[in-house]
Structures are given as C-alpha cells and as structure tokens.
Amino acid sequence: GAVVSQHPSRVICKSGTSVKIECRSLDFQATTMFWYRQFPKKSLMLMATSNEGSKATYEQGVEKDKFLINHASLTLSTLTVTSAHPEDSSFYICSARGPYTETQYFGPGTRLLVL
C-alpha cells in the first residue's frame, strides 16, 4: 500500500516551453501533497504544500507564477513549470499523505532537463 507515482519520469524540453508533472496516489486518498526539488548532491527543498481543493502554499523564494500547482482531486496533483529555463533543470519529487497519518510517501521523482 501507500504507492505514489509520478509521470513522466524524465523529460527534456526546450527553453521557453512549459512542462507538466503529475503526481498520483494510487491506493490512498492524499489530502495533502508536497512538491520538493532536489539539486545534484543536495537535500530536498520544499517548494510548496497543496491541500486538495485549495490553493497551494508556496515556500519563500518559490515563484508561484512559474511553478503552477493544482490539486484538483484526492489522488492527483500537478506541477507545471512554465516558460522553463535551463536553471529549472532539476529532480522534482512529490510526496503525499493521507487523512489519518502524518507519514509522507514519495513518488519516484521526475528529472527535468531544459535545453
């Protein structure tokens, strides 16, 4: 149980285009989903917290107009990187928690490369 998937696992795009990353909880309802970004050989930095049906809460320094987060259902959250630039290249990982637990389960991550 407690499986979280992400799609795509890898994406290469041209500078200026937008990329959407999906995060799904496969066998539980995720009331809260988190989006993290991991730089090479670095820890995970929280980008935003999203609760189903409400607007995401962004961490300081994260541009909400650039990183659009939608959590329209209890099993799906999406992160859209708009007008991507090479500095947005990174490993993006989502996590999800259910309604009766504080434990977070992580997706396998999406590696984004912007050329």
What are the residues binding another protein (CB under 8 A)? 6, 31-32, 34, 42-44, 46, 49, 51, 93, 95, 97, 102-109, 111
Q: Between residues 20 and 111, which has the closer beta carbon with respect to another protein? A: 111
Residue 47's CB is within 10 A of a number of other CB atoms, namely 24
Question: What number of H helices and E strands is found in the chain?
Answer: 0, 11
Whether the Cβ atoms of residue 11 and residue 80 lie closer than 8 Å to each other: no
Query: At closest approach, how far in Å is the CB of 16 from another protein?
Result: 27
Q: Between residues 17 and 77, which has the closer beta carbon with respect to another protein? A: 77
Query: At closest approach, how far in Å is the CB of 44 from another protein?
Result: 5
Q: Between residues 78 and 107, which has the closer beta carbon with respect to another protein? A: 107
The label of the residue with tokens 């630039």 reads: 85
Cis peptide before 8 (omega within 30 of 0): yes
